[in-house]
Amino acid sequence: MQSIFDKQINRRNTGSAKWNVAEHELPMWVADMDFETAPEIGEAIRKRAEHGVYGYTVLGEEWYEAYQGWWQERHNFTIEKEWLLFCTGVIPAVSSIIRKMTTVGENIAVMTPVYNNFFNSILNNGRNVLESRLRYENGVYSIDFDDLEEKLADPQTSMLLLCNPHNPIGKIWGRKTLERIGELCIRHHVLVLADEIHCDLTKPGSGYVPFASISEACRDNSITCIAPTKTFNIAGIQTAAVFAADPVLRHRVNRGLNTDEVAEPNVFAAVAPVAAFTRGGEWLDKLNAYVWENRIFAERFIEAEIEGVHAVKGEATYLLWIDCREAAAELTGLCAFIRKESGLYVSDGCAYQSDEGFLRMNLACPKALVEDGLGRLKKSIEAFKAQHGN
């Protein structure tokens, strides 16, 4: 049966960062979907555009209620209205919060491999990245808690930047794991900054656990970033939210966002989240089902067709993390080789501080493109093997 997500939309020459590639290339890198957003969101944006006056904008009650209602209904978590602050994006929020809540020269702990822009937000602000590497055994990632505790116990460590669910490995952290992270952070006086932007992109039937829902203590020792932008493919609208339950933390975050000038919405940034979170649920369920099918298809294809390459099983995000380490003895330059050889543009795992030989492939596109991408991957891995031996 045809799905709305099978529709192929030409995004070339539309100012798309993802599709700013050569004619023969297939971009499956940045976390941006090739689908039209939910019709309800398009409708709300068109309605606002038709008004014709685009002045300075404030958020109405409905913006707060939309976030509150969605987290209550879909994630069983109560966000109080006064906890919520607007921000123009999750990364602008992360950078601003780092500047406001930590000092230059302090360590910010991250569990790697992790979203590459975290490193920019930390390093560009003069803080140190303190990596706790995730364990990877038998195709499964887990936290090395001894190592994490050692990093958190360093007196120079003031913040843990948590990715929940975790990009690029597609992992949903469970309640017990988050509890343990939360306890360690409290014990060592480390503030948790939880980036939960991928929280709605999960395997049908499985949800995520908001870090702030773990306990009152975790809630009061954390700041959380959320947004409709990944979920509904509206990153170009630049709209996100931060919540902090603790009034002192929140006051400081609010001052930081304001002085950094990332606290004011554009006209569409105020409207889109309301349509998304009040009317986008049905569309999202269909999207998650479609993306899940793409994931299963890709995992099976890789296992069956590409020797020495393994798809890491993930239950969140639309990103597939691929382990190519058995494909060749020498893996340097694999990602660039694939692009040159086949035109397939995927992300190099090294950008996320993984070992050499990992790739991240974006599966949020019509299945025909996933098939095309996997065919290109197979062909170029074979060519790489032929050149580099295994």
Is residue 240 near ligand PLP by the rule CB under 6 A? yes
Is residue 358 near ligand PLP by the rule CB under 6 A? no
Q: How far is the CB of 89 from ligand PLP (least distance, A)?
A: 3
Q: Within 13 Å, how many C-alpha atoms sit on residue 316's CB side?
A: 23
Q: Which residue type does 262 have?
A: V
With CB under 6 A as the contact rule, which of the stretches 35-43, 61-69, 86-94, 136-144 interacts with ligand PLP? 86-94
Which helix H or strand E contains 42, and what residues bound it? helix 39-51
String marking each residue 315-354 x if it binds ligand PLP according to CB under 6 A: ----------------------------------------
Q: What string of DSSP letters covers 244-256? A: -SSHHHHHHHHHH
Contact 370, 297 (CB under 8 A): yes
With vertex at residue 44, the alpha carbon angle to CA 39 and CA 46, rounded to the nearest 5 degrees, is 90
- Select from 115, 321, 352, 384 the one that contacts ligand PLP (CB under 6 A): 115
Nearer to ligand PLP, 196 or 299 (CB): 196
Query: Which is it for the CA torsion 91, 95, 98, 101, positive or negative?
Result: negative
Is residue 163 near ligand PLP by the rule CB under 6 A? yes
Q: Per the structure block, which two tokens stand in for 114?
A: 């992790």
Nearer to ligand PLP, 90 or 181 (CB): 90
- Select from 90, 152, 161, 363 the one that contacts ligand PLP (CB under 6 A): 90
Site for ligand PLP in 177-236 (CB under 6 A): 195, 197, 227, 229, 235
Contact 178, 210 (CB under 8 A): no
Residue 204, number of CB atoms within 10 A of its CB: 12
Helix axes 90-101, 247-259, angle to 10 degrees: 110
Rounded-to-integer distance, Cα 102 and Cα 158, Å: 6
Q: How far is the CB of 225 from ligand PLP (least distance, A)?
A: 7
Q: How far is the CB of 244 from ligand PLP (least distance, A)?
A: 17
Q: Could you tell me how many helices (H) and strands (E) the chain has, helices first?
A: 13, 15
Nearer to ligand PLP, 163 or 328 (CB): 163
Is residue 89 near ligand PLP by the rule CB under 6 A? yes
Rounded-to-integer distance, Cα 374 and Cα 300, Å: 11
- Select from 38, 66, 79, 91 the one that contacts ligand PLP (CB under 6 A): 91
Q: Three-state DSSP class for 336?
A: helix
Q: Which residues contact 222 (CB under 8 A, 6 or more apart)?
A: 182, 191, 192, 193, 194, 211, 212, 244
Q: How far is the CB of 232 from ligand PLP (least distance, A)?
A: 12
Site for ligand PLP in 17-46 (CB under 6 A): 31
Question: How many chain residues touch ligand PLP (CB under 6 A)?
Answer: 13
Is residue 167 near ligand PLP by the rule CB under 6 A? yes
String marking each residue 295-314 x if it binds ligand PLP according to CB under 6 A: --------------------
Interacting residue ranges for ligand PLP, rule: CB under 6 A: 31, 89-91, 115, 163, 167, 195, 197, 227, 229, 235, 240
